[in-house]
Copies of this chain bind each other. A is one copy, B any other.
Amino acid sequence: MSASPLPDGPRRYHHGNLKAALVEAGLALLEERGLANLSLREIAARVGVSHTAPKNHFGSLKGLLTAIAAEGFRRHAAALEAGLRPEDGPVERLHAAADGYVRFARDHPALFRLMFSADLCNHEDPDLSAAASASYGVLARLAERLAPGKGGGGGQTRMETLLWSIVHGYAMLANEGQLATGPEGNPVHGILDLFRHWPDLGGSGNRRNRVAVTVLS
């Protein structure tokens, strides 16, 4: 994704790669200044272009934010898959993906919030929708290994939803600072620990087609 003008020569009237450059600048500003302080004009200024130039490519601010969120989901999916080692069992792989999920939210809080904000970006957009689905698919495939779907009654979908809810909820709460400043000094536990402390979660072999979560003594 090169986002600089095509040749490295002096300023030209046509940027040549403005669309990608705006997305890249938006991602950078998101990290630097946060979601609340992000503005269309500032993104355009960083690329060195008038503040109405993005309209040609994205229609409106929402369109630009949608494109940024789509790129975010692509990186999100990559973060989920980064720790997945093929030789590991389904449980280890689940741990790795969950760790990637939470780590991504922690490392890119503003982008993460944007990605899941129905207000700020248009989730009907095909590009964003596809990127989000790809990211979800990583978790879904891991759930598939755990729940082969023989149980009937939508057990497969339910398992996906459960996993996603846990990981997303934890990431969201940690991201918004809710877990750290809890009622009676709630320490932050990694979602990885959360999973790891489910003793009967399979042990790494899938010799039993059964996932039992024992929380209490």
Contacts and interface: CB of A to CB of B under 8 A. Distances in A.
Interface of A: 34-36, 113, 116-120, 123, 129, 132-133, 136-137, 140, 146-148, 150-155, 157-162, 164-170, 172-173, 175-179, 181-183, 186-187, 189, 191, 193-194, 197, 200, 209-217
Q: How many copies does the complex hold?
A: 2
Nearest to A193: B158
Given A168-B173, A172-B172, A178-B132, A162 B215 contact: yes
A48 B113 CA distance: 34
Contact of A137 (B136, B183, B209): B183
Contacts of A187: 154, 157
Contacts of A200: 212
A119 B129 contact: no
A36 B121 CA distance: 11
A167 to B, nearest CB: 7
Given A155-B215, A214-B212, A215-B159, A173 B165 contact: yes
Nearest to A187: B157
Nearest to A134: B183
A217 B213 contact: no
B181 A161 contact: no
8 contacts: A36-B119, A116-B178, A161-B189, A165-B173, A166-B169, A211-B214, A212-B214, A213-B215
Given A210-B214, A213-B211, A161 B183 contact: no
A179 B161 contact: yes
B155 A118 contact: no
